[in-house]
Structure 1
Amino acid sequence: MFHRNRLILLFLIVFCLWSCEKQTKRTGNLFDYIPQNTENILKIADLESAKSDLAGSYLFEQLERPVFYNFLKDRKTFVSHLKPKGESVICFQKTNDSIQHFTFITKAHPLVFVVDSIPNSTSEKSDYKGYQIQRSTVQDFSIFNSTIDSVFVASSSEILLKEIIDHKTESDPEFKKVFSLKTKNELVTIFQPNHLQINDSLTINFGSQAALVMEVFPDGVTASGVIFDRDSMPQLISVFKGLHPKRNTIAKVIPTDALQARAITYDDAQLLEQNLQLYHRNTAQLDPLFGSINEVASITLKEGNAVVLKSIDPEITGDEFGRFISEKGSFREIDLFNFTDEALIFKPFYPFIENISPAYAFQLEDFFIFTESEAIAQGLIAAYKNSATLAKTSYFENTALQLSQASSFVVYDLQGNVSGWIAPFLTSEKSRVKKFPLAVLQLSYDRDFAHANLVCKEASPIQQSTGVISQVFNKQFDNTILGDPQFFSNHRTKGKDIVVQDVNNELYLISANGKTLWKKRLDGPILGKVQEVDILRNGKKQLAFVTRNTFYILDRNGNTVAPFPKKFKDDITQPISIFDYDRKRDYRFVITQGKEVMMYDSKGKIVTGFTFKKAGSAIVLAPQHIRLGNKDYILIAEANGKLNILNRVGKDRIIVNKKFNFSKIPIAKEGLNFVVITKENSKESISQSGKVNSKALNVSDNYWFTTRGATKVTLDDNLLRINGKLVELPFGIYTKPHIFIANRTTYITVTEIQESKVYVYSKNGKLQSGFPVYGSSLAEIASVANKILLITQASDNEITVFSFR
């Protein structure tokens, strides 16, 4: 018996010794030295390249607590003396002291880390279970390193280093599987996305392990990789198990001023329901409405939230949609409905959709949209109508080139936001970054894992503005607007205010942010346009205009400027004409009453030196001032066909013997000639000697002709010609084309009034990116600083101001 027990004891001793010997034999795989409970890992193919890439990254410089970037920056002296040959690994984890520690792992060689070469450093050595541990003090922090089985390990924690020696290392087979993924790329980040802090009230178990190959550029980051799903516990990506990713379309309705959008896609509503039930551990059912849907999205805006459903059969969806709605009204020809479900149909989609209480709903083509307020609904409709959506931006187009067209789940962070959904994939916390208008995370489920793509690229000022039409404000009035809204210069802000008149003859001055500064009741409709003058010559602008019986000059506070207004017994029959011959603000104001003209100066006195008092017949166009060369010409067209071309004092300067059947097109300047377009659509070119050259135009009755400087524009039905270059517009009914100069650039505007589309072209005939936008009237353009503003009517009682570059 005693002999038998001795044999058993001997066997146990031999087994233990054999086990210890086996435990100490490690293969040299760097994974075998990763500490337990590691939170983040960075696999680095070449440390010098990684340092260079991360140090030059403007994105990582702005992120909140980016783990790897901060390590390279805060431990710069230590890192600069690391000389690995080949791959290295940096691990981060928090220990019981709640301090984040790092561990650096690479193949050992004599020069991998020479502490003696570090200035002002100290070191001491100790033994631990047969391994030598060197403690070095560099810039007030300690580093512990040792060579373990041909592997160099350095850590900020002596405890962690000893645990590695004791084989207390990472052993999760799934972790090892992720770590062992083959890649030749410089940087691979590995982490466990099982506890993502999305916001203060939402923490998500996203997946078990994630590995992303990261490419860091001076202008941003791209990454691609995998996220694994563990069947033993409900994880978010398991919601997509068995579902095929569908094409992402939500960007078509995300306004450019949105803060974030998230979308999921699916091809089997019943399977999605089962997966959601497993994830939530409940039996909540999806409403039948979702059977005809393949994309569900949420949009976060400053004003609130919206939910978007993309239908694969709008007719079927519309029938189901009808159960929840009652008619509310309309906005820009889109029906608005009250929504009465109180968000119950969206509850199963938590956390993809969270904290929304929709009260309104509407349809945009294949999209069914639910919003928390009527204002949000109107904003989404306006953005869609104005092409002011994410899909229309150049930075989205550039980003989309690096993404899959279809995915299971996608997150769009806008306005420089890096949310809790995306930040962990950049090893950081939620952040705000400049010059990065869009960050995208995209997941596509495939068996027991999801493919991941991440793009966050810097956009230049041109990229950020090209194709982006932002709505500055939208304002409704109680009454129908009369005439076209106009810009008016604000000498205080150096910006632009807006002048609007309604059918009750109320004149409004609206600020640049849509606030009504004042309104003033006039005695009738304004004839023509309001014009800007500076009669005091102090830079402070006034509004000059006429009604049928009054000549007004108002200051920017709405007060009359003495000695105005001037009242007239007889009707004024043409818009006011204002001449500033030498641009010295020595104005001449011309009032037309039938055959008669009266010229006033800035003091409200008749200019006695102007001798032309009365025409031979009614004056059919507002008198015009045109300068050719160094000569001034005043042109007055009469109903009997006579064209008076006068000098400054009202004497004949050019005698024109031919009579014209004047149309409504003002007389234009073309080269060194005057141009009259007659009602018969004949182009009459008049030289400075009075010679007339006639040319039949062979155009429609809708023809229009206008010039400004060297730019000539004509419109014949839908045929727009700019300096001779043909632009074929869609068939429709168009306003007159107008030419504007803003920030030294020439723009041409024209509006199709049936479809309510405003087009803006450059003088080379190119449609400006982002146009057309929604508008129902003539559009006016002005410049403010480095921005271009455009104003138009959105409806009979509504104006919209846009900004573009």
Structure 2
Amino acid sequence: MTRRITFIIISLVLIGLLAYSYHYFSSLKNFKNNQAIKAVPTDASVIIQVKKPDRISDIILNRISYNEALLEFDWFNSFSNHLKAFEGDSLIVDKSILSFLKSKPITISLHPLGKEKVKPLFAYSISNKAQQNIFVNYLEENPDGWAVNQRKYNASNIYSIKPTGVKTELFVSFYRGLLIISPASLLVENALRQLRSDFTLMSDKTFSKLFKTVGSNSDANLFVNFNNIGQALSKVFTKNHKKKLSFFSKVASWGEFDLNLNDTHILINGFLYTDENQTKMNALFDGIDAGYTKINQIIPDNASFVQTISYDDKDKMRRNLKNYLKQEGTYEAIQSNYNKLGFKNSLESTEEQVFDIIDKEFSYVINNSSENENNDNSYLILNTKSKSKTISLLNSLSDSETKPVTFYQLDQQTQYPIYKSTAAKVFPLLLNTYCPELPKDYFTFVDNYMIFSNSVKKLSDLIYANILHKTLDDSKYHRQFTNMFSYKENMFVYCDISKIKSLLPESGNLELFNPSRTQQESLNQFYGFGIQLATAANDLIYVNACIHYLPTRESEPETVWQSGLDSTIIGKPALVVNHYTKEKEILVQDKSNMLYLISNSGRVLWKKKLEAQIMGEVTQIDYFRNNKFQYLFNTVNRIYLLDRNGNNVEKYPIDLAYKATNPIAVFDYDNNRNYRIFVACSNRNTYVFDKSGNRITGWKAKATEGKVSQPIQHIRVQGKDYIAFADDKRNYILNRKGENRVTIKSDFIRNENSLFYLLTENNIPFLLTTDTNGNLQKINLNTGDCITTKLLNSNEGHHFMAWDFSNNKGMEFILVTKENVYAFKANSKKLFEVEIDGNLLPTADGYHFSGNNKKIGVFDQENNKIYLINSNGSVYKNFPLRGKSRFSIGFLNKESTKFNLIVGGENNYLYNYKVE
């Protein structure tokens, strides 16, 4: 009996232990079906999911190169400091809790709250009851002595916590494996109430379908509720801009975007999806494949904002637009506005004609400048199938003929008509759905592109930008940017981030719209933000977006104009005379050996491909003795003579039997235009040609001992002619027949970058130059005696020039090395030394501005800077300037009061600066 009682007691204890164990361990079970997204209230405007917060934190703090630029903004600085607190040992959060928060995926949502606020909600999925108990126990035991209060809400506890030293109060609650945190208690209550009702975002078919497109390899996932995002954004915009935010509600119902943070890019791709009961942007592109756009070749490269529409089927595009307007209830308004224009044709007929004339692409462009007011800063650009057919269409719509109201005239050969026509207003009327607030007052054509603007001045600016090849298609930076996108799209939106302030003036109090000077400098390091949309299967629209950080991008130099070439300039731009206008034009060659003649307004008049680089500079001659000039120069293989239209003159070009080793020299001994052309060749012979290209047989010069690399010089003094030159062995001073005229008694090797300069002292003529040791060599032309004076006293490579620089009726000596510019008096005493941190091209150019105003120009080829140096050794005001070549200075126009400086620039441009 006793055994039986004992057995029963033991059995009951075991059963009790088992029951207790079951109850205890079941309370620590893993939570199921507790996706954090379910805790997000359905009025969310934006949702962000981060799978690995610790990885994102590391990327933002340590791996992205634009971190420093963003730190200039308070919001990012504060965000960064919070990340750093979580990265280290937090003083306000328990280590086990901190470890959980850093390692677990987090869902963050933003919600409009009240009239002026947007508040976040944070949601975590908790694995099991044990993890939840760690949080609960920590809050209830409160070992750090925080201000913690607890209250009930629908059977759930809501904790209000305020850690010591922290101003923000947080509200925390738990529900079936979900941790919910927010600085707004109302959001926590909304989340709890929603979870109990079982109607969550995942109950929304539209959101649920989009949720399945989430990328698994992204750094974060972004969800945008386009029905609500306008309301959330309105909290930070002024009243004038709030109305425009309604645009977002027409984009889609929801959007999902995968975000990846790279060193210089934020890459975004995903989908837009629309509820079947709503009319959104996808209806405009339904069944229409993406198109390829060429319109960037018209848009100015300083555009602030561009929205381009492209498509492959004009009939579907027209029908979709009509159906969309009818579903929106706005088609009647379009009809009414169309009737007011008084056209003969029906609206439906005109729609067909308009979409038939547009060649499958159009664009809305904003180009801000300080001169713009109201809506005068925008363009509507249409690619038409034909300018003439477009004009015919306008004439058919109206009884009045479409005629120009004014002209944009750049020069005598360049004239663009600018029109104003009631009939043309049909284009912005029909396309306003795609691009709001389209300009309609004036229009012009560039090729077959039809461009609208509310300002004649803005149309002129766009025409001029195209003449100078200053378009997005010509921009190296924009080509790099668009290479990150597909070559086809239905819509592409581009925004220049550095011009946010001008795009949204007085839009709100956000730092982004009102940057300080240092913040603007940071924004200037970002090239742009682009969004590309294209139709996809299952009513989805594919989205590809990018924010591009480009710290190497430099702001535009302040030039009169910049003219685009095919490649980078080589050599020194030549200022040549237009014999018709007596004004200056520019002759320049690029690295592809293309030769250009450019007008004084920057327009390329012609270009001609040469077989090689021009050696030296271009000389203008009057070949026909009729006061009309031609351009004479040589390459290594040929001598060219071109007329001002770029055509070869007579039997030119002349092929050289041997390769030229120096630039040609052109002499007009008696000023009778009976020119002589001198050139040295690789067989060590020097040759003389007449202007027709015939060899002069009376030239008897012997072969040189070495290679002649500098031009041959003609010097006339005291009734005698001297033909002077040097090779890398010795010097030669000959007469017109090539016979020796002066024998140098103590010969030397002339410096590679030095020429001869004439100096007369006490009626004795001397030739001045420098040798390879940086010494001044003074040759007496009467005796051949040579006087050596130490100047640079170094075998460092240099350039030498002798010039009356300081206007003291004497000669100064200028020497340029890689890093220094020296000036010496005639007695060899140093006038000044200018040190430049770079790598100077060993060449100096002298500029005579007025009576006593002379300056020296040098080029830093390492840093692409140009300098003008005054006669006292100071750098002229506003210099250095940006430039990638030697430069020329002169008056381009007869009426000019300021000098023009012409120099090669960045990105294949030729720069025209004004010099005060």
TM-score band, normalised by the shorter chain?
Answer: 0.5 to 0.7
Percentage identity across paired residues of the two chains:
14
Q: CA deviation at 1:259?
A: 1.6
TM-score (structure 1 length as normaliser)? 0.56
- Who is 2:364 aligned against? 298
| Structure-2 separation of matches of 1:41 and 1:349 | 33
1:392-411 aligned within 5 A: 392-411=474-493
Where does 1:2-401 land on structure 2 (aligned, <5 Å)? 27-55=33-61, 58=66, 62=70, 81=93, 82=98, 83-84=100-101, 85-96=103-114, 98-108=116-126, 110=131, 121-138=146-163, 139-166=166-193, 167=195, 169-170=200-201, 171-184=203-216, 185-194=218-227, 196=230, 199-202=241-244, 203-204=246-247, 205=249, 206-280=251-325, 281=329, 282=331, 284=334, 285=347, 286=351, 288-292=353-357, 293-302=359-368, 303=372, 304-312=377-385, 316-317=389-390, 319-320=392-393, 325-327=402-404, 328-329=406-407, 331-332=409-410, 333=414, 335-341=416-422, 343-401=425-483
Query: Secondary structure, in 3 states, of the residue corresponding to 1:279?
Result: helix
User: Which of 430, 451, 454 is the matching residue for 2:545?
Assistant: 454
> How far does residue 165 in structure 1 lie from its aligned partner after superposition?
2.5
| Counterparts in 2 of 1:130 and 1:235: CA distance versus 1, 3 Å | same
> What SS class does the counterpart of residue 387 from structure 1 fall into?
coil
Query: What is the count of residue pairs matched by the alignment?
Result: 543
What TM-score do you get using the length of structure 2 for normalisation? 0.50
1:689–1:365 Cα change, 3 Å: farther
Give yes or no for contact 2:109–2:120 (8 Å, CA) kept in 1. Answer: yes
Residue number in structure 2 paired with 1:589 = none
CA distance in 2, matches of 1:351, 1:63: 39
Cα distance between partner residues in 2 of 1:796 and 1:258: 33
1:59 CA displacement: 7.3
Q: Which has the higher contact order (CA 8 A, sep 6+)?
A: 1
Change (3 A) 1:765 1:161: closer
Q: Deviations over 1:605-640 (max 9, x none)?
A: xxxxxxxxxxxxxxxxxxxxxxxxxxxx99644899
Cα separation, 1, equivalents of 2:478 and 2:266: 15
Rounded Cα–Cα distance in structure 2 between residues aligned with 1:70 and 1:669:
62
Deviation of the 1:338 alpha carbon? 1.3
Indicate how the Cα distance of structure 1 residues 124 and 358 shifts in structure 2: closer, same or farther if over 3 A, else same. closer
- Give how far 1:418 is off: 4.5
Q: Tell me which amino acid in the other structure corresponds to 2:356.
A: G
- Which is richer in strand? 1
SS in 2 for 1:176: helix
Task: Provide the residue aligned with 2:650 in structure 1.
Answer: none
Give the Cα–Cα distance (whole angstroms) in 2 for the partners of residues 322 and 474 of structure 1. 38
Flag structure 2 segments of 5+ consecutive residues without an equivalent.
1-30, 335-346, 516-522, 564-578, 587-599, 601-628, 630-668, 673-711, 726-730, 740-749, 759-768, 772-778, 783-797, 802-837, 846-857, 865-876, 907-916
Corresponding residue number in structure 2 for 1:754: none
The 3 A distance-change label for structure 1 pair 108 and 765 is: closer
Change (3 A) 1:431 1:190: farther
Conserved 8 A contact 1:337-1:360: yes
CA distance in 2, matches of 1:60, 1:44: 23
* DSSP 3-state at the match of 1:177: helix
Counterpart-to-counterpart distance in 2, 1:288 and 1:795:
47
Name the residue aligned to 1:484: 584
User: In 2, Cα distance between the equivalents of 1:172 and 1:421?
Assistant: 36
SS at match of 1:132: strand
| Structure 1 counterpart SS, 2:226 | coil
The Cα offsets for residues 497-548 of structure 1, whole Å up to 9 and x where unpaired, read as: xxx9xxxxxxxxxxxxxxxxxxxxxxxxxxx9xxxxxxxxxxxxxxxxxxxx
Report what 1:436 is aligned to. Answer: 526
Q: CA deviation at 1:180?
A: 3.7
CA shift, 1:417, in A, is 3.3
Which amino acid in structure 2 is aligned with residue 35 of structure 1?
P
Bigger fraction of residues in helix: 2
Amino acid at match of 1:136: I
Q: CA deviation at 1:260?
A: 1.3
How far apart, in 1, do the equivalents of 2:277 and 2:502 lie? 25
Matches within 5 A, 1:377-776: 377-414=459-496, 416-418=498-500, 433-447=523-537, 448-461=539-552, 463-464=553-554, 472=560, 482-484=582-584, 636-637=715-716, 642-643=721-722, 656-659=734-737, 709=799, 744=840
Determine the C-alpha separation between the residues in 2 that align with 1:235 and 1:747: 65
Q: Is the 8 A contact 1:393 1:464 kept in 2?
A: no
How far apart are 1:358 and its partner, in Å?
Answer: 3.8
Kindly provide the amino acid, as one letter, of the partner of residue 299 in structure 1: V
Distance 1:107 1:39 in 2: 21
- Aligned to 1:299, the other structure's residue is in SS state strand
Mapped contact 1:470–1:802 kept (Cα < 8 A)? no
State the 1:796 CA deviation: 9.2
1:672–1:37 Cα change, 3 Å: closer
SS of alignment partner, residue 221 of structure 1: strand
Aligned partners of 2:121 and 2:498: how far apart in 1?
32
CA gap 1:28/1:594 in 2 versus in 1, 3 angstroms: closer
Q: Shift of residue 267 of structure 1?
A: 2.4
Q: Is the 8 A contact 2:40 2:109 kept in 1?
A: yes
* RMSD, matched Cα: 5.4
Q: CA deviation at 1:747?
A: 11
Closer/same/farther in 2, CA of residues 481 and 313 from structure 1, 3 Å limit: closer
Structure 1 stretches of 5 or more lacking a match?
A: 1-24, 487-499, 501-527, 529-591, 596-632, 647-652, 662-667, 677-684, 692-707, 712-741, 750-761, 769-781
Structure 1 counterpart of 2:162, one-letter code: T
**TM-superposed deviation, 1:405:** 0.9
Which letter does structure 2 place at the counterpart of 1:149? R
